[in-house]
Amino acid sequence: MMKGLGASEGYGIGRVLLISEKNLEYTPKEVADTEAEIMRFRASIDKFTKDTLAQAEAVRASVGPKEAAILEGHISIIDDPFMRGEIENLINAHQCAESAVEQMCQMFIDMFMASGDELTMQRAADVRDVRDSVLSILLGVNEVKISDAPEGTVLVVKELTPSMTAGIKKDNIVGIITETGSQTSHSAILARAMEIPAVLSVPNALAQLSTSEQVIVDGFTGDVITAPSAEVIEEYSAKRETYLREKRELELYRGKPTVSASGETYELCCNIGTPKDAGKAMEKDGEGVGLFRTEFLFMDRSTLPTEDEQFDAYKTAAVVLKGKPLIIRTLDIGGDKEIPYLGLEKEENPFMGFRAIRYCLKNRDMFKSQIKAILRASAFGDVRIMFPLITAVEELREGKALVEEAKSDLRASGIDFNENIPVGVMTETSASGVIADLLAKEADFFSIGTNDLTGYTMACDRGNSNVGYLYSPFQPSVLRLIKSIIENGVKAGIPVGMCGEAAANPMMVPLLMSFGLTEFSVSAVSVLKVRKTIAKWTKAEADEVTAKVMAMTTEKEITDYLKTVV
């Protein structure tokens, strides 16, 4: 077995086709007739442009517009006036076209690779792709015909380039193995866009595999199984069938409302960390954003983001959501989320220390600038504010008072915002669960953060393997708190959602439906799965299961039982 990085999910069972690199060797020579050489270079660019446009058209039809745009971007690399000008200068200095093209492309490749930035480094791969295509034309080397690959082919390449994808017929290529690439590389993006299982970064794959040998590609684990026995092939064929069936079934839930089998409707939102994720949430059919973790805007930099920078980020997400709800959680730092430039003191007990709302209420200027940025974004969508780690009613009151202060500042400056912006509480501490009735009177909504609620209630750090066995939202104590939070919210007439990981757990879903939860907020990839799970249950069935669960004594009893009903 060989091991790589599972970068595009699914199982591919097929026969290897090695795509070795083209032989682009040449002997650099001095040219006397520089004008003729420039004409030869220009003709090669014309052919490259024509070929690439045709490839882009094919990719647009078979894969999608974004992938076609990558190819069109290749034309602008070689068409860049500086690039073309310098290549022609080198030819005028009597270098041959091959050598001039290679030299200039190498300069850009070195520059991009030196940046250390993953995205910029990806551009080096594009320049390499362009260089090889233009050199092939100049040298008259024929492209390898991936389009001729027979059905059931597993492509093995050093790197999957955008120009290769033009030749890929989705029905024939069942898997891809590359020697380079990461989760965010073009190879990964292209493989995922084509929905072909792919394992990247398999060292020496080309040398280790031979054309026509049988392999299995596991795009989940990154395993490449060589010389599989009949038994293993059967096992993976069954896995593949189940995966494809479930995928087809999930697609049936796209574009549909989130409704139980007995007709109750729920809101199914996504958790995001950046404005870009808002687009992903929409792509995955989320009905809004139930948790925007704003700390990512504060991380990986050396100073606080300004109010304007934050406004841009929140507004971008609001605009992408087109009027769908966007719950923005104010800064939740401390605990496991460090922001070095804030200079927080090292504490004995960081999870119980000076963090989240506690820190923000003591750093009012910083907090107010975040609240103003959120308020300003509220003019562009259904934006809501949520405070993390609330443990006492005073914290909510103080936070709300600051929202009022921020509103009057904006009013005085004539800046638009939603006067009635809802302000909610993230119920993620045991204290907030116990006083949910008191908080519900003063909050506009609740969202249950089970990740922290479980840890605080069980007095256990999930990162500590000695006590990890206690960390479960199915502990009777945690379930009782969840129930109480939801019931108190319902009694006070405010919406209650859940944005902790437990919201996507199929065993938790019937309990939440029975308790009266109205909104689920999950990672974008879980949207369709959760919609399907909700659709499976009637309210009466969920109530019956929940009554049994709530009468049980131990976590094991509860999870053993729930496993039998999901």
Window 452-491: residues binding ligand PEP (CB under 6 A): 452
- Distance between CA atoms of 96 and 288, rounded to whole angstroms? 57
Min separation Cβ 449 and ligand PEP, Å: 3
Q: Smaller CB distance to Mg ion: residue 286 or 449? A: 449
499 binds, among Mg ion, ligand PEP, none (CB under 5 to 8 A by kind): ligand PEP
Work out whether strand 265-272 and strand 258-259 pair parallel, antiparallel, or are unpaired: antiparallel
How does DSSP classify residue 337?
B
Is residue 7 within 8 Å of residue 160, measured between CB atoms?
Answer: no
Nearer to ligand PEP, 271 or 418 (CB): 271
Binding pattern for the stretch 410-429 against Mg ion, x by CB under 5 A and - elsewhere: ------------------x-
Question: Given the rule CB under 5 A, which of 104-112, 214-222, 319-327, 448-456 is the region that contacts Mg ion?
Answer: 448-456
Residue 344 or 552 with smaller CB distance to ligand PEP = 344
Segment 327 to 346, residues that bind ligand PEP, using CB under 6 A: 332
Two structure tokens written together for 532 = 């399907």
Question: Sheet harboring 153-157: ordered strands across?
Answer: 2-3, 223-226, 214-218, 11-19, 153-157, 173-178, 198-200, 5-8
- Which of Mg ion, ligand PEP, none does residue 132 bind (CB under 5 to 8 Å by kind)? none
Question: Which of 420, 353, 413 is closest to 385 using CA atoms?
Answer: 420
Name which of residues 506 to 535 contact Mg ion (CB under 5 A): none
User: How far is CA 453 from its chain centroid?
Assistant: 25
Per-residue HEC secondary structure of 96-146 comes to CHHHHHHHHHHHHHHHHHHCCCHHHHHHHHHHHHHHHHHHHHHHCCCCCCH
Size of residue set near ligand PEP by CB under 6 A: 10
Interface with ligand PEP (CB under 6 A), residue from 62, 180, 451, 559 = 451
The Cβ of residue 341 has, within 10 Å, a number of other Cβ atoms equal to: 11
Query: CB 109 → Mg ion: shortest distance, Å?
Result: 43
In the complex, residue closest to ligand PEP by CB: 449
The set of catalytic residues is 186, 499
| Of the candidate residues 499, 517, 524, 558, the single one contacting ligand PEP (CB under 6 A) | 499
CB of 226 or CB of 451, closer to ligand PEP = 451
The SS3 of residue 95 is strand
Residue pair 357/351 in contact by the 8 Å Cβ criterion: no
500 binds, among ligand PEP, Mg ion, none (CB under 5 to 8 A by kind): ligand PEP
Contacting residues for 172 by C-beta, under 8 A, at least 6 apart: 149, 150, 151, 152, 153
Least distance to Mg ion, CB of residue 426, Å? 7
In sign, the C-alpha dihedral spanning 66, 70, 71, 75 is positive
Q: What's at 137, amino acid-wise? A: I
Per-residue mark of binding to ligand PEP, 401-440 (x: CB under 6 A): ---------------------------x------------
Asked if 450 is part of the footprint of ligand PEP (rule: CB under 6 A), the reply reads yes
Residues 67, 72, 132, 452: which binds Mg ion (CB under 5 A)?
Answer: 452
Shortest distance, position 453 Cβ to Mg ion, whole Å: 8
In the list 293, 315, 355, 532, the residue contacting ligand PEP (rule: CB under 6 A) is: 293
Between the CA atoms of 221, 227, 230 and 235, what dihedral angle is there, to the nearest 10 degrees? 0
- Judged by the rule CB under 6 A, the positions of this chain that interact with ligand PEP are 291, 293, 332, 428, 449-452, 499-500
- Judged by the rule CB under 5 A, the positions of this chain that interact with Mg ion are 428, 449, 452
